[in-house]
Amino acid sequence: MSMDLPVAEVRAIVERALAEDIAWGDMTSNTLIPSDSRAVGRVLAKSVGVLAGIEVLVLAFQSVDLSVQVEIRVPDGSPFQEGDVLARVEGPARSLLSAERTALNLVQRMTGIASATASYVEAVQGLPARIVDTRKTAPGLRILDKYAVRMGGGHNHRYNLADGILIKDNHLEMLAALGYSLKDVLERAHAQAPHMIKIEIEVDTLEQCREAVEAGADLILLDNMSVEQMREAVQFIGGRALTEASGGVGLETVRAIAETGVDLISVGKLTHSVQAADISLDFEGTGGNP
């Protein structure tokens, strides 16, 4: 797999999905389709978008049957138009039919994520803000979801709770109740955290911004602030820490947010509310343009 994904993990996801869908056998195909029938199919785009997961689709077909040949016509990360043939598959008809749904479920979700991400990235074009994802991914599919965000031109936030420190208001309130100031908290974080991990802190006010910057936060999360507040915070911080906007970001508001000068805009819905891309597998001679 040439894509930047850990092969073994992806294979495990694909095999679980196939086991879930094929179970003890594709009754329809096994009952009706002769075991020596061969077929050719085209993976066809039914709408515009940005592709992600085409190699995962290959893996799905070849996990069912190593003899299936897949020719990729559009690489991951590329925009495509309605009617584009994204890949061509050829092999035993039963194998193609049995893998079809799983392969499509994977590529449709991933392409849905990439396409939505691309819309946000396009909306902030020309501005320095990165569109980043969150940990609000489908349970068990995080590596695919976050890969799809990258394919759409976005960047990845923390992968998990272990590879970054993000001090949220929940933490701050609990710690305040124990007598710790924001500055205390950041000092403890610096003293104890692994040195390769950056420290981000959520703030509500300019005053908190000041404390956070002076205590050496690497990133400052401006959560649910108005565009006006954000702009003020960004100017105040003045590059001493990275800034991230978060909370209720939509396609209609993202550019205004980016114009405040924030470095990062995190968008939960990229992965928690995915619109599956419309991609189908058409068997040759059964419709669709060649």
Q: Which of residues 237-266 bind a copy of itself (CB under 8 A)?
A: 242, 263-264
* Backbone φ and ψ of 247, nearest 5°: 105, 105
Whether the Cβ atoms of residue 251 and residue 275 lie closer than 8 Å to each other? no
Residue 148 lies near a copy of itself (rule: CB under 8 A): no
Judged by CB under 8 A, the residue of 106, 213, 257, 262 near a copy of itself is 106
Judged by CB under 8 A, the residue of 227, 229, 272, 288 near a copy of itself is 272
Judged by CB under 8 A, the residue of 102, 115, 117, 246 near a copy of itself is 102
Residue 271, SS3 per DSSP:
helix
Round to whole Å and give the CA distance between 25 and 79. 36
Residue 181 CB, shortest distance to a copy of itself, in Å, is 13
The question of whether 136 is a catalytic residue gets the answer yes
Residue 2 lies near a copy of itself (rule: CB under 8 A): yes
Residue 242 CB, shortest distance to a copy of itself, in Å, is 6
The question of whether 101 is a catalytic residue gets the answer yes
Q: Of 15, 90, 223, 282, which one is the catalytic site residue? A: 223
Residue 111 lies near a copy of itself (rule: CB under 8 A): no
Decide whether 25 or 250 has the Cβ nearer to a copy of itself: 25
Whether the Cβ atoms of residue 57 and residue 74 lie closer than 8 Å to each other? no
Buried b or exposed e, range 165-199, using 16+ CB within 10 angstroms: bbbeeebbeebeeeebebeebbeebeeeeeeeeeb
Residue 196 lies near a copy of itself (rule: CB under 8 A): yes
Residue 211 lies near a copy of itself (rule: CB under 8 A): no
Strands in 85-92's sheet, in edge-to-edge order, are 69-72, 85-92, 38-45, 279-283
| 199 bridge partner residues | 165
Judged by CB under 8 A, the residue of 126, 179, 195, 228 near a copy of itself is 195
Q: Which residues contact 45 (CB under 8 A, 6 or more apart)?
A: 80, 81, 82, 83, 84, 85, 86, 277, 278, 279
Number of residues that bind a copy of itself (CB under 8 A): 105
> 85: which 2 tokens?
């043939």
Alpha helices in 65-141 (DSSP H): 93-123
Residue 222 lies near a copy of itself (rule: CB under 8 A): no
Select the span of 79-87, 134-142, 223-231, 252-260 touching a copy of itself (CB under 8 A): 134-142
Select the span of 82-90, 119-127, 191-199, 233-241 touching a copy of itself (CB under 8 A): 191-199
Q: Which of residues 77-96 bind a copy of itself (CB under 8 A)?
A: 93
Q: Which residues contact 155 (CB under 8 A, 6 or more apart)?
A: 130, 131, 132, 133, 149, 264
The question of whether 46 is a catalytic residue gets the answer no
The question of whether 210 is a catalytic residue gets the answer no
Q: Of 168, 183, 214, 284, which one is the catalytic site residue? A: 168
Residue 142 lies near a copy of itself (rule: CB under 8 A): yes
Round to whole Å and give the CA distance between 84 and 97. 21
Round to whole Å and give the CA distance between 233 and 231. 5
Active site residues: 101, 136, 168, 202, 223
